[in-house]
Every structure is written in structure tokens, then in C-alpha cells.
């Protein structure tokens, strides 16, 4: 059987068709298996395959028993476990903690194909299925929960996922380097407990391994040099491990949580990061320094692997919504040095931008253009941010000392290279590729960087926009933007003027699609009313708005939980409660009739009744629209939602359903 144009096996029959009698690594994922480089299980699976290992995919297994985990028999080396491309709680629940109606990473968007806190359930089933098989956890969920963290859905500080899921190792961030080293060393016969020196990994020290002393004695010893008596098993870092406030401290003392957050974000630079140690009662969690960024050659090799760029054939005609979005997209870079306080990209993908070579990108465009169903349009040439291609620190000696959380805030670092020339050259080359009619830039553009290159804005406006261009000003209030670590709103206006000018010169009528956030720490009703007025004056009608969701380990999440900015130490106003968040969201779309009652309540509560009336400067009319007046709130019993902490069990019949049936 030819395997160079086939997906990785998902069934025993596919394993047998390859002539294998066993597999080396079983990838367990909460997502549908799509053999596309935008899906982690495909990317890492192909990387291991290229190293000569036999890899199988266990996609969205039934977690109610361990039977599915025995599908491929006992793997020779390990299970690699991930909740999927998203944190499972964010995948299941909205900002209002309501159950989502669909799952973009499942066939036909079907919900309920993975459990709450999927990493925990999957690791437990591995242990039940095969005792003694090494378990390596990874993915966004494990990565952002590697230390004690605030969990929005249970509204409390939870322990490190290492202590609850109990994997042998946890790979955080982008996993190519650490996973290859783990699997290769396991293949040579090294026990999993000897692999604790690998960068980009974290592990648990049991009570018998790490903690013989308590309290003040432990703190005193942590300040000593690498001769500490604790068996931290960290041989890579050049400095002594940094001891974070313990779980007991951060779960009861918000000032300790603030200190922990600041320390974590100061240790994201792989060139100077120290190992982190956090005690949880008599156990400890050790986080090694981040993995080294991939070189351009390594990036080219990874993205040049033989992906089919299709969902697994077993899904037949069922569509995977997340795949439809990225089907004809090309990732040209990864990582982000923006450091937005509400964004997890820096903590997961890293603060160092890693870019592919132009030749590699054009070769992938050629493969996409050769697909029989290619429409002629490359849907996106981008990454986490569209215009950071080949941008990094220009002074390596300074980079190795830097501990800034952002290269762009509060102002662009003078040592950052902001040349858009390589990106412009790439865009020109992409337009000339055979079979390509258009190559769009659909990833968000960092406007403060783009303003430094009018030529880039001209190329995007004239050749790489499908009529609408996404940008993310996020807010208009200076104080809120300061808490977000975003540039002033004036830069959005400057960018908009230049974009419209270039579009007009090209004879095109094009628009910006701005994204705004409601409910962010630092944002009160007055700030949201100011944003609503800003939107009205500029005749914007945002169709999609974002409710702030406190994701684990983010700086803004620390503000939400503690009311303190961990970087400045200043107190921050935090909008709490379902009503307050609902009012803020309604103000973002004040023009919708169904939001009338909430907008009016927000204006009255903020002391702005002057904005209620029929004048041109008012937000809403004095009389409610008929749609709003006719709308009745649902009965109280229908509003009630099952608590997220009870677990996601969509197939369980409630008493109400049984009665109805």
C-alpha cells in the first residue's frame, strides 16, 4: 500500500494495510482527525512518521470506558494525549457559561464528542487500558494548565493539570522538538523518568521524591544554588530553578497569585528562562525552560511533510467546520511578540516568531493549487498575526537578556526589525503562482506595525483583500487599551484612512472588519458607552463581538481574578456577574432591537439618560422597538444551566427529557 498519499491510520485495518504488526505511538485527540498542518495531531504525527516511527490516531474516543484505548493494542513506546486544538472547557461553554450548540472540530459540528477537561479523562483511560505505558500529555489545554491556574468555569484556582491527569511528562508549547526527543530516547530503552531534562516539558515530583522539608526551610533552600538538596532533575537551565508561590498560597492569597503570574510571564524567553518549581502540598511541579524555536530549515521541513490536507476518509461526506476555514490557507509563521494581555499565543506558541522560507511556502501553494477542488483562491497567507513574517530582535546579545512581555507595548521596541520587505516579496511571488487567482491575507493585521510600511498596506489593499480586511482595535478607551496592552485607537483610524485611500486608488470599495471585546478587566459601563458612541460616530455595525473569557495563565485572567494588574501592581476594575457582562456586550451592538432593554438599563445605570432619545447623538430611541417590546424572557426553569463542573454529558437524559419522551 502506498503511504505517501495516505493519512495516518485510524483503524486496525489501516495499520495492517501498512504491513505493521504494532504501532510505536498512539495519538489520542479530542478533535476529528484532519491531515492538515493546522491540526496538531496531524503535524506532530507526520513529524514522528518522518523520523521512522509507526504512528496511529485515536480520534474522539468514547471516554466512558477504556475499550477504545485498546484499539491498536499496546503501543511500543507511548500514548500522546491531547484535548485537541482548543481547551475543552472553552470548546464546550460560552463566556456566559452556557453549553455551546456545536463543536467546530467535530464532524458536522456535532457537540458532545469529548468530555469536560478531556486531558484528565483521556490520561485516566490510558492507565486503565495498559498499566505501565508511558503517557505524554500536550496540546493547548495541558500547556496552559501546567501550573496552578484560575479556572473561569469553576470560578476557583485549580491545581496543575499534572497532578490531576498524572501523565509521566507534559509537553507545553509547540511540541516538535520535545516530542521527537522523548520518543527517540524511549526507543533507545531509556525509562520515562529519566527524560526530565528535556526543554519544553513539565513533570510531577511525588511526595517521596521532592519535598522533605516544609515552610520556611523550603523557601530558604530554594534560594541556594544548583546544589539544592531537592532532586529537581533539571540539568538544562543555566540558572537555579525559580520557586513560585505554592498552590496553597495562590489559592488563598490573591497577592501570591499576582506574584506567580508576573514570574511566569517573565520566564517566557527561551534564551534566558529558568526552570519553574511550584509546590502543591507535599508534591511539586517542575516546568523546564521553553523549547528552542525552530529554525527556518526546520520549519520548512515540518510544513513540507506529505499531508493529504483532507479530513480522514472515514468521515465520508461529513464536514469538519474548523477544516473548512483553513482548507486552502498557508501558515507562513508561528509565534507572536505582541503580548496582548488577553491572548495565550505567547505562552503556547512562544514569543519568538519562527518563519518559513519563501521557497517552502510557494511549494505548498503549488500543492494546494494542484488539488482537484481548488477554487483558485488561497484563503490566507498568515499565522497568529499576518504581518510579523521574518520579524525578530536585531541584537541577539540583548535578546538573551530581555524579559519584556511584549515587543510592541507600551511602544515598539527599537531593536525589533519591522521590515515588511520579505513579506511584500512573498505576496508578489504568491500572486504569480500557476493556478492561483487570488492569495488573500485573512489573519489579523497588527496595525501599529503595518503603519511603518505604506507599501505593505498598498499591496494588501490592491491585491490581497477579498473586500473585507480583519483588524483588531479591541476598544477605544485609553485606559482599557492600556490593560489590554494594545496600541491607541488613533492607530486604527490612521490605518483605516490609508487602507481606504489605497483601495480607492485601485478602484475598489473595501472595508475593515474591526473586532471589539466587552467585559475586559479595566472596562466599566462608562468605557463601554464611550466605545458604543465611537462605533456610532464612525458608522460601524460590528456583526461579531467577543465577550472576554479568562483563559488559564493569561495576564488579563489574573486581573479578572485578583483585581490587580500583575505587571504594574495597580488595582483594576473588573466587570463581574452575568448581568454586568450582558449589559457591556449589548452596548457593543446597541443598534440591535433585541438589545434595547439591556442598553437602556446600562445607560440609566451609568447616569447617561441623555443618550436615550430621538436626537442624532443618542444611542437608542426613547421608545423601544416592537421586536424588543414583544420579546419575553424565557421561563426561569429554561434559563437554568447544568454546572460546568458536573461534567459534559450530552447523552444523559434529564428527568424533563424522560417525561417528554
CATH number of the CATH domain containing 383: 3.30.750.210
Based on the domain organization, do 385 and 448 belong to the same domain?
yes
In a domain, 535, yes or no: yes
Report whether pLDDT(249) > 70: yes
Q: Are residues 427 and 514 in the same domain?
A: no
Contact (CB, 8 A) for 480 and 527: yes
- Asked whether the CA dihedral 69, 11, 647, 171 is positive or negative, the reply is positive
CB-CB contact of 244 with 147 (8 Å)? yes
- Quickly count helices (H) and strands (E) in the chain: 27, 20
- Quote the CA–CA distance of 437 and 439 in Å, as a whole number: 7
Are 219 and 341 in a shared domain?
Answer: no
Are 301 and 438 spatial neighbours (Cβ–Cβ below 8 Å)? no
Asked whether the predicted pLDDT for residue 649 surpasses 80, the reply is no
| pLDDT-based confidence at residue 207 (cuts at 50, 70, 90) | confident
- 491 φ/ψ angles, rounded to the nearest 5 degrees: -70, -30
Q: Give, rounded to a whole angstrom, the gap between the first and last alpha carbons of the chain.
A: 49
Say if 368 falls within a structural domain. Answer: yes
Q: Enter the C-alpha cell of residue 103.
A: 463543536
pLDDT at 479: 97
Say if residue 17 is in the same domain as residue 158: yes
Residue 4: the pLDDT is 58
Whole-angstrom Cα distance, residue 335 to residue 351?
6
pLDDT above 70 for 648: no
Q: Are residues 81 and 181 in the same domain?
A: yes
What's the gap between Cα 206 and its chain centre?
Answer: 30
Which residues are registered as beta bridge partners of 211? none
Q: Please write the tens of the pLDDT for every residue from 448-460.
A: 999 999 999 999 9
Asked whether residue 374 is domain-assigned, the answer is yes
Q: How do residues 366-400 score in pLDDT, each as one tens digit?
A: 999 999 999 999 999 999 999 999 999 999 899 99
Are residue 92 and residue 41 in the same domain, yes or no?
yes
| Whether the predicted pLDDT of 225 surpasses 90 | no
Categorize the per-residue pLDDT at 214 as very low, low, confident or very high, splitting at 50, 70 and 90: very low
Neighbour-count burial of 640, counting CB atoms closer than 10 A to its CB (0-12 exposed, 13-18 middle, 19+ buried): exposed
Are 177 and 77 in a shared domain? yes
How confident is the prediction for the chain on average, in pLDDT?
A: 90
Total domains present in the chain:
3
Nearest CA to 411 out of 384, 449, 354 is that of 449
* pLDDT tens-digit readout, 509-550: 999 999 999 999 999 999 999 999 999 999 999 887 899 999
Q: Are residues 501 and 562 in the same domain?
A: yes
Is 68 inside a domain boundary?
yes
For residue 230, the model assigns a pLDDT of 33
Q: Is position 312 within any domain?
A: no
Same domain, 340 and 202: no
Same-domain status, 431 and 519: no
**154 and 72 share one domain:** yes
Please give the pLDDT value at position 440.
Answer: 96
Whether residue 391 sits in one domain with residue 505: no
Please give the residue range of the domain that contains residue 182.
12-287
Q: Confirm whether 562 is domain-assigned.
A: yes
d(CA 583, CA 518): 9
**Residue 36 and residue 331: Cα distance in Å, rounded?**
11
Amino acid at each position: 500500500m502506498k503511504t505517501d498519499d495516505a493519512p495516518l491510520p485510524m483503524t486496525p485495518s489501516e495499520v495492517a494495510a501498512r504491513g505493521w504488526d504494532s504501532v510505536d505511538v498512539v495519538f489520542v485527540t479530542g478533535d476529528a482527525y484532519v491531515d492538515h498542518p493546522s491540526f496538531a495531531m496531524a503535524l506532530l504525527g507526520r513529524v514522528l512518521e518522518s523520523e521512522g516511527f509507526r504512528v496511529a490516531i485515536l480520534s474522539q474516543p468514547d471516554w466512558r470506558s477504556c475499550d477504545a484505548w485498546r484499539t491498536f493494542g499496546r503501543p511500543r513506546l507511548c500514548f500522546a494525549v491531547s484535548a485537541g486544538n482548543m481547551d475543552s472547557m472553552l470548546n464546550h461553554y460560552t463566556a456566559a457559561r452556557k453549553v455551546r450548540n456545536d463543536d467546530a472540530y467535530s464532524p458536522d459540528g456535532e457537540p458532545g464528542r469529548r468530555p469536560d477537561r478531556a486531558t484528565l479523562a483521556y490520561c485516566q483511560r490510558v492507565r486503565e487500558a495498559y498499566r505501565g505505558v508511558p503517557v505524554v500529555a500536550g496540546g493547548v489545554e495541558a500547556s496552559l494548565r501546567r501550573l496552578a491556574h484560575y479556572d473561569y468555569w469553576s470560578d476557583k484556582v485549580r491545581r496543575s493539570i499534572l497532578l490531576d491527569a498524572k501523565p509521566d511528562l507534559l509537553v507545553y508549547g509547540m511540541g516538535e522538538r520535545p516530542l521527537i526527543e522523548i520518543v527517540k530516547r524511549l526507543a533507545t530503552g531509556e525509562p520515562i523518568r529519566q527524560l526530565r531534562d528535556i526543554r519544553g516539558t513539565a513533570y510531577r515530583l511525588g511526595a517521596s521524591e521532592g519535598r522533605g522539608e516544609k515552610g520556611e526551610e523550603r523557601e530558604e533552600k530554594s534560594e541556594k544554588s544548583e546544589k539544592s538538596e531537592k532532586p529537581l532533575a533539571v540539568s538544562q537551565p543555566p540558572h537555579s530553578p525559580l520557586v513560585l508561590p505554592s498552590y496553597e498560597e495562590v489559592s488563598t492569597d490573591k497577592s501570591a497569585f499576582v506574584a506567580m503570574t508576573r514570574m511566569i510571564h517573565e520566564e517566557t524567553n527561551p534564551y534566558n528562562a529558568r526552570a519553574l518549581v511550584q509546590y502543591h502540598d507535599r508534591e511539586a511541579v517542575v516546568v523546564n525552560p521553553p523549547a528552542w524555536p525552530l529554525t527556518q530549515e526546520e520549519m520548512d521541513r515540518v510544513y513540507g511533510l506529505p499531508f493529504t490536507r483532507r479530513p480522514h476518509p472515514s468521515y465520508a461526506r461529513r464536514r469538519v467546520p474548523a477544516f473548512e476555514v483553513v482548507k486552502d490557507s498557508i501558515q507562513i509563521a508561528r509565534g507572536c511578540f505582541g503580548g496582548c494581555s488577553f491572548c495565550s499565543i505567547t505562552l503556547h506558541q512562544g514569543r519568538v516568531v519562527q518563519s518559513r522560507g519563501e521557497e517552502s511556502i510557494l511549494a505548498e501553494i503549488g500543492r494546494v493549487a494542484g488539488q482537484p477542488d481548488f477554487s483558485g483562491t488561497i484563503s490566507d497567507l498568515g499565522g497568529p498575526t499576518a504581518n510579523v513574517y521574518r520579524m525578530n530582535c536585531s541584537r541577539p546579545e540583548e535578546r538573551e537578556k530581555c524579559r519584556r512581555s511584549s515587543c510592541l507595548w507600551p511602544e515598539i521596541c527599537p531593536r525589533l526589525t519591522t521590515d515588511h520587505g520579505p513579506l511584500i516579496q512573498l505576496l508578489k511571488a504568491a500572486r504569480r503562482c500557476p493556478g492561483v487567482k487570488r492569495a488573500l491575507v485573512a489573519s489579523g493585521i497588527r496595525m501599529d506595525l503595518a503603519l511603518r510600511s505604506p507599501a505593505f498596506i498598498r499591496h494588501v489593499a490592491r491585491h490581497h483583500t477579498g473586500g473585507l480586511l480583519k483588524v483588531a482595535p479591541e476598544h477605544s478607551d485609553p485606559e482599557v487599551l492600556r490593560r489590554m496592552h494594545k496600541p491607541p485607537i488613533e492607530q486604527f483610524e490612521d490605518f483605516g484612512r490609508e487602507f481606504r485611500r489605497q483601495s480607492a486608488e485601485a478602484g475598489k470599495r473595501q472595508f475593515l472588519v474591526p473586532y471589539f471585546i466587552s467585559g475586559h478587566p479595566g472596562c466599566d459601563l462608562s468605557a463601554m458607552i464611550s466605545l458604543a458612541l465611537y462605533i456610532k460616530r464612525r458608522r460601524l455595525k460590528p456583526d461579531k463581538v467577543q465577550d472576554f473569557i479568562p483563559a488559564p495563565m493569561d495576564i488579563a485572567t489574573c486581573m479578572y481574578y485578583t483585581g490587580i494588574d500583575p505587571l504594574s501592581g495597580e488595582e483594576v476594575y473588573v466587570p463581574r456577574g452575568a448581568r454586568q457582562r450582558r449589559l457591556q456586550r449589548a452596548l457593543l451592538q446597541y443598534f440591535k432591537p433585541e438589545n434595547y432593554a439591556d442598553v437602556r438599563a446600562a445607560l440609566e445605570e451609568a447616569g447617561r439618560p441623555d443618550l436615550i432619545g430621538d436626537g442624532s447623538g443618542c444611542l437608542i430611541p426613547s421608545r423601544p422597538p416592537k421586536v424588543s417590546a414583544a420579546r419575553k424572557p424565557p421561563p426561569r426553569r429554561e434559563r437554568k444551566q447544568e454546572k460546568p463542573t458536573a461534567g459534559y454529558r450530552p447523552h444523559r437524559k434529564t428527568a424533563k427529557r424522560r417525561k417528554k419522551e
